[in-house]
Amino acid sequence: MQKNSKFHRMAFVINGIAFMLGSMVFMEDNKTFFGIVLLLAGLVNLAGLIPRFRNVTGFWIQIMNIIVAIITAWDYFDSGKKYIQYAWILVAAFSLFLFIQQYRKQNK
C-alpha cells in the first residue's frame, strides 16, 4: 500500500470521528441543524473508506471538511471554550493540506 493512500485514509478516519463527536456537542447545546451537518460530514468521510464510495471522496468532501472544521472552531471560540477549538483548527489545516496535495496531483 502506498504511503499517500494510508495518509488519505487516516485523514478520512480522523475527520469522520472528529465530526461525529462534534455533532454530539452541538446536539447537547440545542444546535440541532449544525449537529446534523457534522454527523453527515462524519458519515461521508467514513464512507470514503468503502471501496464502492471512493469516487465520492474527492475535492468536494475536502472542501466540506475545511468549511465544517472552521465553522466549528469559530463556534467554540464564540462559546468561550478553552482548547477544543485548536483541535478543530488542526483538522481544518490537515484537510487544507490534503486538498492542496490532491489539487497539485490532479493538475500535473
Q: What digits encode the pLDDT tens for the residues 4-29?
A: 678 778 888 888 898 899 899 889 98
What confidence score (pLDDT) does residue 74 get?
85
Q: Could you tell me which of 36, 14, 6 has the C-alpha nearest to residue 88? A: 14
The 10 Å Cβ neighbour count of residue 83 is: 7
At residue 48, the pLDDT reads 78
The pLDDT tens digits of the residues spanning 23-69 come to 998 899 898 888 888 898 888 888 878 877 766 556 677 777 888 88
Instruction: Name the pTM for this structure.
Output: 0.66
Higher-confidence residue of 2 and 108: namely 108
Residues 6+ apart with CB under 8 A from 32: 26
**Spans of all domains in the chain:** 3-106
